[in-house]
Amino acid sequence: MLLVNQIRENFETVLAGLQKRNFPNAESILQEVIQLDDQRKSSQTQRDQIQAESNSISKQIGMLMKEGKREEAEQAKARTAEIKSQIKELDEQNSQAEESLKALLYTIPNVPHSSVPVGKAAEDNEVVLEHGTIPTLSEDKLPHWELIKKYDIIDFDLGVKITGAGFPVYKGKGARLQRALINFFLDEAIAAGYYEVQPPILVNEDSGYGTGQLPDKEGQMYHATADNLYLIPTAEVPITNLYRDVILSEEDLPVKNVGHTPCFRREAGSWGAHVRGLNRLHQFDKVEIVQITHPDKSYEVLEEMSQHVQGLLKKLELPYRVLRLCGGDMGFTSALTFDMEVFSAAQERWLEVSSVSNFETYQSNRLKLRFKGADKKTQLAHSLNGSALALPRIVAAILENNQTPDGINMPKVLHPYLGFDKI
């Protein structure tokens, strides 16, 4: 969440950033934040003043008793009792102001980086680059949802029988392809200096609030109500929360973690041809990279992470493009996001397969994730994450782009992982 001092000291900049996001009532909400903070500071100042008075009186009571001034001592005792009541009332006021302030700050998204383009939706995103050649397929080309039936490698009907729509069953070479991609992505990340972790796939409320899924996206997460736990929408949530309430040393930075997990998203309100087949699922596998960095280095790291994802797409021989998301299409917690999309030759459309984002201090402020520099002072770190990669649309593009009359050719980089070169 945003820092109150950030809002106070850079009011116009923060306001302009939120307006770039098309955040409604931005100015009045920011003013309310300052008012609540003023109330909190005022009640704290009053409390400190009367606490100082109480401490002074307490010292006087003993002296008055020694001097035989019993009546004055009793009056002093009465005053300390009165002060205790006032302190209790001020503590309650302060607590209420703090809770109201925190709740309001949770509703405010991150301030976009200055390079974020103005826009309201995906159509306004900026194409940064395109790479690769879009394959030319024959007239009888098939979309992946037909290919998977033809070669019996993924079964949506079985998934519906077991669970419901959006939970496919991977079979035979389809399951092998999933496993090959996961291992390839993990191996590439480890070779790039990431430390592998296997986190839980259920998280508590504190973890959801820490990375910004709560209170913004609770309707999109599966909620195990009996235990008040949430199924993760991405490994970013548990991996970043490894560092909640942690103070790192500056020498520890950057911290680089990678993890593979299944991910779960309700995708409420999604329908239509664009979500057919593997295009949008309720359960899918993803390899996630997360970095905790020094604030001075985070945008260098963002570019490094973007290049890492692009390197995976090049090795998979998939045509791709990089988009800089506009203010209206960015995630709630992000300061700057690059999306990577691959071209699906059978569907003749671009499919998002990765988002790489810099959250600056937005998550670390919620997480109380800090580091201590050489000067022994603590400050908030910057957090970043990226999909490297999400599997469903990668699988869709591999199947569609590489189809031939004789089968589906597999990318050469996967041959050692698969044990076969064609489906």
* Residue 353 known to bind ligand: yes
State the Cα–Cα distance between residues 347 and 160, nearest whole angstrom: 24
For residue 396, give the nearest of 260, 279, 310 by alpha carbon: 279
Residue among 112, 392, 368 nearest 263 (CA): 392
Q: Say whether 118 sits in a helix, a strand or coil.
A: coil
Strands 255-264 and 195-196: parallel
Paired with 386 in beta bridges are 289, 356
Whether residue 267 is annotated as binding a ligand: the answer is yes
| DSSP code of residue 135 | P
79 is in an annotated binding site: no
Peptide bond before 254: cis, by omega within 30 degrees of 0?
yes
67 is in an annotated binding site: no
Question: In angstroms, rounded to a whole number, what is the distance separating the alpha carbons of residues 378 and 248?
Answer: 9
CA angle (130, 132, 137) in 5-degree steps: 120
- The reply to whether 275 sits in an annotated binding site is no
Length of the chain: 423
Q: Annotated binding residue at 352?
A: yes
How far does CA 408 lie from the centroid of its chain?
35
Q: Is 136 annotated as a binding residue?
A: no
365 is in an annotated binding site: no
Does 47 carry a binding-site annotation?
no
Are 195 and 257 in contact, with CB atoms under 8 Å apart? yes
- For strands 247-249 and 255-264, give the pairing: unpaired
For 216-254, give the DSSP string: TSGGGS-EETTTTEEE-SSTHHHHHHTTTT-EEEGGGPS
The DSSP secondary structure of 120-183, one letter per residue, reads SSGGGPEEEEEES-PPPPPTT---HHHHHHHTT-EEHHHHHHHT-TT--EE-HHHHHHHHHHHH
* Cβ atoms 238, 208 nearer than 8 A: no
Strands (E) in 92-158, as ranges, are: 126-131, 154-155
Quote the distance between the C-alpha of residue 366 and its chain's center.
Answer: 12
Determine if residue 288 is labeled as part of a ligand binding site: yes
CA dihedral 75, 80, 81, 86 (to 10 degrees): 130
- Residues belonging to the binding site for L-serine are 234, 265, 288, 385
- Residues belonging to the binding site for ATP are 265-267, 352-355
- Residues belonging to the binding site are 234, 265-267, 288, 352-355, 385
